[in-house]
Chains A and B, each alone.
Chain A
Amino acid sequence: MAPPDQREVTLSAQALTQSFGPSKIFESLSFEVLKGKGLLVTGPNGSGKTTLLRILSGLLRPTKGKVRLNIDGKAISPEDRLKHIGFITPELALYEELTALENLEFFARVRRLKRTKADHLALLERVGLKERGRDLVGTFSSGMKQRLKLAFAIQHEPVLLLLDEPGSNLDDSGRAVVEGVVAEQKKKGVLIVATNDARELAYGEETLALA
């Protein structure tokens, strides 16, 4: 594959419909997002923003419809998706009885990434947690946990990054970190942000508003 900056990436969703039992969350959603672009997903609570992101991440199978992630014109198979997708959402947590470094090391090993300790430390620095590598995640504040979650999502340099309410619990310096991540992501891939926060509306060029 070509180096990250030169790859063609497209995410396309066709006729996505999601029902839980008899109640329909959304119906026949279709859209396409190209590399370098950010898509904002907005809507009131319960409109399905998180559900949509979960479908795009491969965690949830849609009731109907298809999601396709193309790199350099070739579709990525569902089994390989994990390698190329990064996702954070409020309901996701990391291992609190392990340290930040241990968390990152574990994820790197399971993701089959060759990372050294220096790499992990660099990642921590990028999200502003440089000094906290050896601390147990259980001792982190919610803002710090959010930063570590960001690190978790970008560790493997995914071409598709899904951020569900990325700014939650973050102070201004935390938001700066998110902005940095957003900018980086648009250079090499696709970004989708689900949010109701006005400050985050600048992250995307197009908006998908869910009823």
Chain B
Amino acid sequence: MLWQLLLFVWMSLVIVAGFLYAPLAEKLYEMTRIIYFHIPMAWVAVLAFLVSTVFSIRYLMTRSWGDDVRAAISAQLGLLFAVLATASGAIFAKAMWGAFWNWDPRETSIFLLLLIYGAYLTLRSAVEGEDKRARLAAVYNIIAFVTVPFLVFIVPRLYFSLHPGPLLNAQGRLEMHPRMLQVFLASLAGFTVLYFWIFDLSWKVARLKRKQEEAS
């Protein structure tokens, strides 16, 4: 119970700090504040995908219900965060460049992730039979994972990007003001813990439900 309260306080502080504590980045004005939320959510969406794929691979080896359920849970969470990341990104894009959507490579990547989640969950709902569903969904998850690096790393070389480069670029050189960095990293940590917490809760619920079903 304690650490959940801690998380609540932490996240509240992050939100407040995002608006009051951290200064503005040059050239980007108030809209910058969105990076404290948009990027961590995008990061969690990707993390969730990774977790989902790991559980899918595990399922194919163990054929254990638990692995499949956790792959699905992570996918559902990932979908949620992907939607939030896409939406927050679109808001930023509108404020910054005047259009909600531009097919900039980063925008395309997060949207692609959204599509993959949607496809994965749709597939799950379309297959009858628990074992078959788990097996087919796991394979889809893995093949999707295999193609993601192409979009994230390789295809962007073909196009220029609208995304603000200098602030946080691929080489990892952070050129943020120290305060901004603090809030940003705090937010990243907070969102990650949030993800694991919700994941854990859902897993517990799923196990309880299963016990109940087996008893009847």
Is B210 in contact with chain A by the CB < 8 A criterion? yes
- Assess whether A20 is in contact with B214, with CB atoms less than 8 Å apart: no
Is B130 in contact with chain A by the CB < 8 A criterion? yes
Majority secondary structure, B binding face: helix
**What chain A residues lie within 8 Å of B210 (beta carbons)?**
22
CA A21 to CA B216, docked complex, whole Å: 13
Contact residue among B63, B129, B213, B216 (Cβ-Cβ distance under 8 Å from A20): B129
- CB within 8 Å of B: which A4-36 residues: 20-22
CA A195 to CA B210, docked complex, whole Å: 34
Minimum distance in angstroms from A62 CB to a CB of chain B: 11
Is B131 in contact with chain A by the CB < 8 A criterion? yes
- Assess whether B214 is in contact with A22, with CB atoms less than 8 Å apart: yes
- Interface size class of chain B, counting residues whose CB lies under 8 Å from the partner chain: under 10
**What chain B residues lie within 8 Å of A130 (beta carbons)?**
none
Contact residue among B63, B131, B213 (Cβ-Cβ distance under 8 Å from A22): B213
- Chain A residues bordering chain B, tally (CB within 8 A): 4
- Assess whether B63 is in contact with A61, with CB atoms less than 8 Å apart: yes
- CB within 8 Å of A: which B174-216 residues: 210, 213-214, 216
CA A20 to CA B213, docked complex, whole Å: 12
**What chain B residues lie within 8 Å of A22 (beta carbons)?**
210, 213-214, 216
- Assess whether B63 is in contact with A21, with CB atoms less than 8 Å apart: no
**What chain A residues lie within 8 Å of B130 (beta carbons)?**
20-21
CA A20 to CA B216, docked complex, whole Å: 14
Minimum distance in angstroms from B206 CB to a CB of chain A: 13
Nearest opposing residue in chain B for A22, CB measure: B213
Q: Which residues of A contact B (CB under 8 A)?
A: 20-22, 61
Q: What are 5 A-B pairs with beta-carbon distances under 8 A?
A: A20-B129, A20-B130, A21-B129, A21-B130, A22-B213
A20-B129, A21-B130 known; 10 new pairs, CB 8 Å cut-off, are: A20-B130, A20-B131, A21-B129, A21-B213, A22-B210, A22-B213, A22-B214, A22-B216, A61-B63, A61-B131
